[in-house]
Chain A
């Protein structure tokens, strides 16, 4: 039988780092350390004595360089001629759009806030929920743990909030809608991961049911993460849309919307609720449609179409990281102009606006209703997006175009030490608005501002307002 000659290894000197690992691997001692510096690499490649070589290939499997020592050599070839079938680059993945499916007409449900949010996520097509138990957000996770397996989805209890956010990074990076329920201390732990998500453009949804802080604080309702969600989403130039629901109905509606926004911008979206809102039960109407999610073209899904994709936040060279930041900031600007949301109640003709969100906005709404009955010209302005702050909407009340008198005073009602007011002040300052008088009613530590206090505070402002001079 003729002896088949085994091919001898091909050394590409410019790709050899001269480490010498192949030398020891060779049973025939045909490789030796080189002596000459390679002009292209600046390193000293080894030398192979091909005469002695028997083509055993052991040196190849000892070479750490992919193309330093190979059986076939290395030439830049057309990828499609290599190693079997590969999808041509130009046949890039195509985004499979979400589908809207009609829901059967249903009677209103009676739901607590966390449940309403969980159901909103299910209706938005989310079938993957990760989380770590923390009061007062846990019921959302519990409901998911019960329902998702029945829809062939999964709830995974993570080892910590740090793990949670990274499970989400993987699942969101695979292009699927995923979310978590957490509360303030847990949210603090997630911030590193959120920064990675923003950098790598991974869409995810966080429901932060804010509780009393700092530190372990308590489980009462607070709004003291507003600074964190609006200004502190981890390191770097980060921002994310922050939605502030007020009722169980909004918990459902805004959770659904959060997924749309997350995928629209490839960015995390935060739902900032408060402890009260997590627990309050109320009437909730289901929407007319639910979502069957598609799959975005950028997903690292683990299939043929998406093989070339990469989820990554490293940009080694400074100019390319600056460029990436410019790209992210362009998205933030777009969110700022496109996604401001707010609601008002009896703001028409108001000289005083109560500005409030989450549960305090309901107390404020009750106060506005009662004050209006007593002819106090007050209205409610409820920011639904805390970031971007709905300054364009607020502006129309501060300087109305029609003949009505503008708002002269704003009373910020919040369960924090002025974090919502800081957002307002920053927004007013950026918009160059001056002259409106700011007042505040604040509580902290799990105490919420109550309706009678709001009424009293508005009355005080009203009685100190300069009387209109009529001539």
Chain B
């Protein structure tokens, strides 16, 4: 009878399969890795899932896991195998992903990745090989090195200065994403059988979409323990298990939940989702406002955070683009957007906005005194300044060819019962004072932006009309 395994029949990736290397592992005699590989390979073959299986190799002695496993293989950066495994699982939810890591890889450099993966709880299977020492780099201290155990980097034996060994399975059991956590070993027939069973269970839980399975295997590294394999087995049995007791630490009964449907590529659906429409917006402008600037009108809207300068800027940009012009809006952001000044640079261009900043705008809308003082002097020759006369009483002197229009944005908005609409009052004023677009262009943009809050449309329309009226009639204060 043949015990089926998912090992390659010939290890062509091990030194090109030459000589004995084609049929033996690269591990030292008595190393526990080979056994764990074997139990994984047998389980995968028993379940008949070689085609779906993907093994993620770590950095460490097991870096060459892909020499042996006849399945999809990915070799990961040091510590990152669980992150890579998650990438695979999400790419193909039907794949069975096994992340294989040693103690340095998982419990030192890769701590963030394993904790996050275990908390996230996507169904992958993690096999953690704990041999209490760094193998590949040559016997340095591992996070799981025992107290008093000597290593190349704790030659006097691990003490409090080095910190106490990390009990990883216990940590894993605490995290909400794990459904199964067991610590097993390889030192006798009974523990080997448990290891095989635990691997089987973790993979079963993944196949059933129940969650994240974690198996910590206490393993022998005779080479760096400086023992023969028999002594190493005894050491694991007698010493390691004191710090790392064997047993099932968690076995939750979680119903299958993991399901990901195949991604969708329906063009109609994509267009709809990104907000595209084939319905052309109505156009109200017949020509570009050349009376403001021949090719490109620049605006600055400035106020305090919460004045609505950005929303107003966005509405002007939308309206202009709906009219077939090019337009851009750059918000100030960051610290400024958290309560300080908030200003927006807007350009409306006949063909293409070249430079989108507004260092000397044709139009300034100022919602407060500091903005007026700061940006008023930068306004372009022949430009227009519109400011909130309800809150600005001291108006600096500006160049004589700049048109200055005071409009009580805030008072009007308050009288309408909603101070928030003062930016829409400002838009009405902007339109009447400059004839940048057409009234309906801006109103259309306002309505469209309120599509999901229809009840707000009438008050916004009224605010807009009041802004127009205030400029027309020269209203600077409003009771």
Contacts and interface: CB of A to CB of B under 8 A. Distances in A.
B271 A103 contact: yes
Contacts of A105: 278
Nearest to B14: A316
B268 interface: yes
A65 B24 contact: yes
Given A163-B112, A282-B326, A451-B357, A104 B87 contact: no
Contact of B2 (A15, A71, A102): A71
Contacts of B460: none
B25 A309 contact: no
B286 interface: no
Contacts of B10: 76
B143 to A, nearest CB: 18
Interface string A274-314: 00100111110010001010000000111110110111111
A130 B113 CA distance: 14
B3 interface: yes
B228 A20 contact: yes
A219 B94 CA distance: 41
Contacts of B115: 159
A128 B28 CA distance: 41
Contact of A282 (B50, B262, B327): B327
B32 to A, nearest CB: 7
A12 B22 CA distance: 14
Nearest to A278: B333
A64 B77 contact: no
A369 interface: yes
B73 A312 contact: yes
B2 to A, nearest CB: 5
B75 A200 contact: yes
Interface stretch (A174-182, A258-266, A421-429): A174-182
A365 B347 CA distance: 14
Interface in B341-365: 353-357, 359-360
B83 interface: yes
A109 B32 contact: no
Interface in B413-464: none
Which one of A23, A107, A110, A302 has the greatest number of beta carbons of chain B within 10 Å?
A: A302
Contacts of A301: 72, 91-92, 95
Given A106-B276, A302-B95, A68 B88 contact: no
B145 to A, nearest CB: 22
A237 interface: no
A311 B73 contact: yes
Given A17-B30, A66-B38, A170-B88, A158 B321 contact: no
A41 B428 CA distance: 90
Contacts of B13: 310
Contacts of B71: 307
A365 B355 contact: yes
A21 B20 contact: no
A467 to B, nearest CB: 29
Interface string B175-193: 0000000000000110011
A170 to B, nearest CB: 2
Given A21-B233, A58-B189, A302-B97, A173 B270 contact: no
Interface string A13-53: 01101111101110000000000000011010000000000
Contact of A310 (B9, B35, B74, B233): B74
A66 B64 CA distance: 14
Interface stretch (B52-60, B242-250, B469-477): B52-60
Contact of A286 (B1, B87, B276): B276
A154 B263 CA distance: 9
Nearest to A73: B2
Contacts of B90: 128, 154, 156, 167, 170-171
B350 to A, nearest CB: 12
B113 A159 contact: yes
Interface in B236-265: 260-265
Contacts of B87: 128, 130, 166-174, 178
Contacts of A136: 333-334
A290 B274 CA distance: 13
A312 B280 contact: no
B267 A64 contact: no
A153 B72 contact: no
A108 B321 contact: yes
Contacts of A200: 75
A82 interface: yes
A296 B146 CA distance: 47
A173 B2 contact: no
Nearest to B84: A170
B396 interface: no
A310 B321 contact: no
B327 A307 contact: no
Contacts of A349: none
Contact of A109 (B5, B228, B276): B276
A106 B229 CA distance: 71
Interface in B194-209: 196
A256 to B, nearest CB: 13
A98 to B, nearest CB: 10
B141 interface: no
A77 B9 CA distance: 8
Contact of B50 (A70, A128, A307): A307
A178 to B, nearest CB: 7
B54 A83 contact: no
Contacts of A444: none
B369 to A, nearest CB: 25
Contacts of B314: 110, 281
A304 B364 CA distance: 65
7 contacts: A17-B28, A128-B87, A128-B90, A174-B87, A290-B265, A302-B97, A314-B63
Which 3 residue pairs across A and B have the least CB separation, nearest first?
A170-B87, A302-B95, A366-B355
Given A64-B31, A281-B317, A367-B355, 5 more contacts: A24-B230, A107-B280, A122-B274, A303-B95, A307-B51
Interface of A: 7, 12, 14-15, 17-21, 23-25, 40-41, 43, 58, 60-68, 70-72, 74, 76-77, 79, 82-84, 101-110, 119, 122-123, 125, 127-128, 130, 135-136, 147, 150-154, 156, 158-160, 162-163, 166-176, 178, 192-193, 196, 200, 218-220, 276, 279-283, 286, 290, 292, 300-304, 306-307, 309-314, 359, 362-363, 365-367, 369, 448, 450-452
Interface of B: 1-5, 7, 9-10, 13, 19-20, 22-25, 27-35, 37-38, 41, 45, 48, 50-54, 56, 63-64, 66, 68, 70-77, 80, 83-92, 94-97, 112-113, 115-116, 188-189, 192-193, 196, 222, 228-230, 233, 260-265, 267-271, 273-281, 314, 317-318, 321, 326-331, 333-334, 353-357, 359-360
